[in-house]
Amino acid sequence: MKENNGVMKGAEIFFECLRMEKVEYIFGYPGGAVLKLYEKLYDVDFLEHILVRHEQGATHMAEGYAKATGKPGVVLVTSGPGATNTVTGIADAYMDSVPLVIFTGQVASHLIGNDAFQEADIVGITRPITKHNFLVRDVKELASTIKKAFYIASTGRPGPVLVDLPKDVINSECEFQYPENVELKGYRPFFYGHQYQIKKAAEMLKNSKRPLLYVGGGVIISNGSNELRVLAGEHNLPVTMTLQGLGAFDGMNDQSLGMLGMHGTYWANQAVNNCDLLIALGARFDDRVAGDVLNFAPKAFKIHVDIDPTAIDKNVVVDLPIVGDVKHVMAELAAELTEPLSFPEWWNEINAWRDESPLEYEDGDGLLRTEFIIDKISQKTKGQAVVISDVGQHQMWTAQYYKFTHPRSFLTSGGLGTMGFSVPAAIGASFAVKDRPIVSISGDGGFQMNIQELITAVAYKRPVKFIIINNSFLGMVRQWQELFHLEKYSFTDLSASNPDFIKVAEAFGLKAFSTDSPKEVDEILDKAFEINDGPVLIEFKVVREDMVLPMVPPGEPYEKMIVKRLNQKSTK
Amino acid sequence: MKHIISVLLENRYGAFNRVATMFSGKGFNIQSISIGETEIPEVSRMTLVTSGDDKIIEQVVKQLNRLIDTIKVIDLTQTPTVIRELALITVFYQKGTRSEILNVGDIFRGNVVDINNKTITLEVTGPPDKIDAAINVLAPYGIKELARSGAVALKRGEQNKDFKKQTNYSQL
């Protein structure tokens, strides 16, 4: 226990706890139940409060901050609607293992359950979408609960933790002591993998002729990119990454096969289909990766390294599980491999697949395509930008065409697939990353889902490049309608109902550019990347009916992959 | 296959709810659930009866362990275990069937805990399959109301000798 700091009000204790946790930013929105906290916040100078325009924006901003830094993102909102508005962001963070601590106001303890004004059972509502949550019932529990919340959120497999603060708790007082340690009988994350299993994995690797590393977001979360570089680099191992894993390994390195799965590269998916040893590192065999779970990597002995025991054997049954922090397991695995390995024949096969069906798009016909734009952004930023995508076709093209060179560079909503993620998450990331360009990429649909946060970017002069890939369609849904739903384009055409994005930008006070010509892309990007004293919006009007390929149809084995489009749609 | 899983939980606000929410959220089936205090005041014991193939039961155990409030999870199915359930069964009687019903109660070592001019209430304890058997035999007489406690179970023999050491089993 720390020394006694005297009697304090709950609101003061709250901010002292945040100071002890070294919180730099809170993303929040005031309201009745948290007025006392905002009263105290008025005089707090050791952290900055970012005023959002909708509480969903606050949670996504906190996610952007947390994904970019690895530190927990902090949200403060009021009770009732303030709290329920955070739900989508919390669910998103839960799916993608993002550390968040969400503080929600609550009506006074004696009113709980009475349908009081702005009352919602947010602890009940968020129970299935948080790693853990708390209702603080006594001011004496406040400090220890906040300590636990930060500890749980940021250790093991990270995730969101919600702390519900009844109004009377923050108004009452007690002696403040911030605990140094957390005692939780039922929570002790695994850290080191089982020695015998790591040795066995090394043996398997030595005897393998066609090994493949399948890298997920866990490698980034555990800060294991260096260990991955050493393991893959010294032993000539091919690396394929999931959507969340992109950036864990240098995408410009020849050993990177790019992304695998539904919209993975042809050669990465062929490598999965033909490898004899698959080592999953901090990945969870999600259905968008595995397709047909019974026929995923059918020829391979499967090793699965994950810190979360529930991830093992959940979707795909594996042959050798290793529960532990993937960073340490990779280091220990590399230490077991004293002689460098090499797989020249396997690489010949992989490179033949690479040549057989490279990623390509139509170019030179004067029409603007997303792939071209992403390619350009990748070249211009030399893979150094932090790219925050939304959800849909542009997201998959970004994953395919942007060459990420560093971890924590591609922030995207993977598991939950939350449209409206990019705009606020990019703003949140911009508070964390100050020396690299911040590029938000959205479709015209998702952009409108948190469009209100543009004013937050303007107010805080965030140097975010907001890029809208506008095909006036909900493009990915349209693609599925074309392929699997009898070409019934039911409610996906926005051409008659999109706003004028340039006027929107002007109204919010952003500089804006728009074009539908490939020739102007360079110039516009150059101009936009020179603006660093505030946000800028770029609308790219692209061809309307392009498809993301290759594509493994949902639930199908990899051999059913669609590589080329058979019915070329007339574009425009 | 039926599994009996014993869970030691922090005796905290919402801990039981968290288990129930997890079961419904993951689509696991619960046949019975019972919860109560243990020898340690801040710990409660929950006994769950669930069913599923090995893969599902493995996930049930892992997901239970994953909850922050769970201290220990034991699948008792493969270990020597004492299992008891209590049932209160209220049965209609007519002239002539009263002694038959009392006889059935005796066979199942039940107690009569209530009687009026239409019904007899029997208390029967034992493993869940014994309760099932008693209910089957009594059903033809007409069961008015039935309440079952759900199974409670403890490992036979050396259980709980050193509770502190056992708490190290917790997982993420």
* Of the residues B78, B111, B128, the one at which a domain ends: B78
Same domain, yes or no: B93 and B70: no
> Hey, is the C-beta of B62 within 8 angstroms of any chain A C-beta?
yes
Write out the DSSP string of A30-77: --GGGHHHHHHHTT--SSEEEE-SSHHHHHHHHHHHHHHHSSPEEEEE
pLDDT grade for B172, boundaries at 50, 70 and 90 = very low
> Hey, is the C-beta of B65 within 8 angstroms of any chain A C-beta?
yes
Same domain, yes or no: B71 and B86: no
Alpha-carbon distance of A67 to A430, in angstroms, equals: 11
B140: domain CATH number? 3.30.70.1150
Could you tell me how many CB contacts below 8 A there are between chain A and chain B? 60
Residue A399: enclosing H or E segment and its boundaries? helix A393-401
Residues B156 and B81 sit within 8 Å (Cβ to Cβ) = yes
User: B21, A186: Cβ pair inside 8 Å?
Assistant: no
Which chain B residues contact residue A166 at CB under 8 A?
none
Same domain, yes or no: B7 and B61: yes
Output DSSP code: residue A97.
T
Partner-chain residue, chosen from A135, A184, A310, that has the shortest CB–CB distance to B62: A310
User: A128, B21: Cβ pair inside 8 Å?
Assistant: yes
> Hey, is the C-beta of B166 within 8 angstroms of any chain A C-beta?
no
Output DSSP code: residue A274.
H
On whether residue B154 sits in a domain, the answer given is no
Same domain, yes or no: B137 and B99: yes
B47: domain CATH number? 3.30.70.260
User: A128, B171: Cβ pair inside 8 Å?
Assistant: no
The predicted complex's ipTM stands at: 0.90
Q: Is the pLDDT of residue B50 over 50?
A: yes
Same domain, yes or no: B91 and B114: yes
Query: pLDDT, tens digit, for every residue of B62-111?
Result: 999 999 999 999 999 988 999 999 999 999 999 899 999 999 999 999 99
Q: What pLDDT does A6 receive? A: 85
User: A156, B170: Cβ pair inside 8 Å?
Assistant: no
On whether residue B168 sits in a domain, the answer given is no
Alpha helices per DSSP H over A172-311: 195-207, 217-221, 225-234, 266-274, 287-290
Same domain, yes or no: B37 and B103: no
On whether residue B97 sits in a domain, the answer given is yes
Same domain, yes or no: B113 and B125: yes
Alpha-carbon distance of A140 to A123, in angstroms, equals: 19
Pair type for strands A511-515 and A536-541: parallel
Which residues form the domain of B33? Answer: 2-78
Same domain, yes or no: B43 and B64: yes
For residue B167, the chain A residue with the least C-alpha distance is A185
User: A127, B17: Cβ pair inside 8 Å?
Assistant: yes
Q: What pLDDT does A232 receive? A: 98
- Please name the residues in contact with B107: beta carbons below 8 A apart, sequence gap of 6 or more: none
Residues A193 and A321 sit within 8 Å (Cβ to Cβ) = no
Pair type for strands A100-106 and B32-37: unpaired
Residues A536 and A511 sit within 8 Å (Cβ to Cβ) = yes
On whether residue B167 sits in a domain, the answer given is no
Angle at B58 between CA B53 and CA B59, to 5 degrees: 100
* Of the residues B50, B78, B106, the one at which a domain ends: B78
Which chain A residues contact residue B67 at CB under 8 A?
186
* Of the residues B53, B78, B103, the one at which a domain ends: B78
3-state secondary structure of A386: strand
Partner-chain residue, chosen from B14, B59, B62, that has the shortest CB–CB distance to A123: B14
User: A137, B10: Cβ pair inside 8 Å?
Assistant: no
User: Chain B closest CA to A314's CA: distance in Å?
Assistant: 7
On whether residue B54 sits in a domain, the answer given is yes
On whether residue B156 sits in a domain, the answer given is no
Looking at every residue in chain B, the average pLDDT score rounds to 91
Same domain, yes or no: B71 and B87: no
Q: Is the pLDDT of residue B35 over 90?
A: yes
Q: List the one residue out of A385, A418, A206, A404 whose CA is nearest residue A301.
A: A206
Residue A164 CA from chain centroid, whole number: 25
Q: What is the mean pLDDT of residues B118-139?
A: 96
Residue B44 CA from chain centroid, whole number: 14
Q: What is the mean pLDDT of residues B42-53?
A: 95
Which chain B residues contact residue A313 at CB under 8 A?
55, 58-59
Q: What pLDDT does A188 receive? A: 87
For residue A310, the chain B residue with the least C-alpha distance is B62
Q: How far is CA A319 from CA A279, A464, B119, in A?
A: 10, 45, 59
Residues A414 and A465 sit within 8 Å (Cβ to Cβ) = no
Q: From chain A, which residues contact B within 8 Å (Cβ)?
A: 123-124, 127-128, 131-133, 135, 137, 152, 156-157, 184-190, 307-310, 312-314, 317
Alpha-carbon distance of A358 to A360, in angstroms, equals: 6
Q: What pLDDT does B13 receive? A: 85
Number of domains in chain B: 2
Same domain, yes or no: B142 and B91: yes
Query: pLDDT, tens digit, for every residue of B114-125?
Result: 999 999 999 999
Alpha-carbon distance of B54 to B60, in angstroms, equals: 10
Which residues of A does the annotation mark as catalytic? Answer: 55, 117-118, 167, 476
User: A156, B172: Cβ pair inside 8 Å?
Assistant: yes
Identify the residue among A125, A162, A185 best suited for mutation to test binding to B, counting B beta carbons within 10 A and taking the highest.
A185
User: A124, B17: Cβ pair inside 8 Å?
Assistant: yes
Model confidence, pTM: 0.94
Q: What pLDDT does A564 receive? A: 82
Query: CA dihedral in degrees (A79, A19, A452, A494; nearest 10)?
Result: -90
Same domain, yes or no: B38 and B17: yes
Mean pLDDT per 10-residue interval, chain A, length 572 residues = 73 97 98 97 97 98 98 98 98 98 98 96 97 97 97 97 98 94 88 93 97 98 98 97 98 97 96 98 95 94 96 94 97 96 97 95 94 97 97 98 97 98 98 97 98 98 98 97 96 97 98 97 97 97 96 93 73 42
On whether residue B134 sits in a domain, the answer given is yes
On whether residue B25 sits in a domain, the answer given is yes
Alpha-carbon distance of A371 to B50, in angstroms, equals: 50
User: B25, A314: Cβ pair inside 8 Å?
Assistant: no
Write out the DSSP string of A429-443: HHHH--SS-EEEEEE
Partner-chain residue, chosen from A132, A137, A309, that has the shortest CB–CB distance to B62: A309
For residue B172, the chain A residue with the least C-alpha distance is A189
Q: What pLDDT does B78 receive? A: 86
Alpha-carbon distance of B124 to B110, in angstroms, equals: 4
Q: Which residues pair with A256 in a beta bridge?
A: A239
Burial (Cβ within 10 Å: 0-12, 13-18, ≥19) of residue B76: buried
Q: List the one residue out of B104, B14, B20, B4 whose CA is nearest residue B57.
A: B4
User: B10, A185: Cβ pair inside 8 Å?
Assistant: yes
Same domain, yes or no: B33 and B70: yes
